[in-house]
Amino acid sequence: MNARHGGAYRLAEFPIGAYGRTQATETMTVPNYLMVAERAPDELVRDVLAVLFESRSTIAEEVPAAALLDRRQAIFTDPVDLHPGAVAYYSQSRR
């Protein structure tokens, strides 16, 4: 699939409990990206990411997939470069 579609797919684990699953299952996924204009202010991008990750439990009450947001995985955006504000957010959140 990746050879035919430019590396868009990744392996991921379909979590226990999703759709009533009783065991984790390996599957192919296509990542979702939060896109911003290159000219978006770094501080705005940092703030949006901070709110998104700090509020993921609350957001997940309405959008269950938000509970799966993972800062450690979010930095892998190849072939899309991270915005400098996102780089700053992820660097700061590692501390």
Q: Are residues 37 and 22 in the same domain?
A: no
CA–CA dist 95, 40 (Å, integer): 24
pLDDT in tens, 49-75: 999 999 999 999 998 888 888 888 889
Q: Are residues 42 and 78 in the same domain?
A: yes
Query: Does the global pTM surpass 0.85?
Result: no
**Angstrom distances, CA of residue 62 to CA of 31, 48, 57, 67, 69:** 20, 18, 9, 10, 14
Per-residue pLDDT at 6 exceeds 90: no
DSSP 26: E
Q: Are residues 14 and 56 in the same domain?
A: no
CA–CA dist 69, 32 (Å, integer): 10
Write down the pLDDT at residue 32. Answer: 80
Q: Are residues 26 and 43 in the same domain?
A: no
Q: Are residues 16 and 49 in the same domain?
A: no
Write down the pLDDT at residue 53. Answer: 95
What is the span of the domain harbouring residue 11?
A: 1-30
**81 Cβ contact list (under 8 Å, min separation 6):** none
Position with higher pLDDT, 44 vs 30: 44
Amino acid, single-letter form, for residue 35: M
Which two three-digit tokens encode residue 1?
């699939």
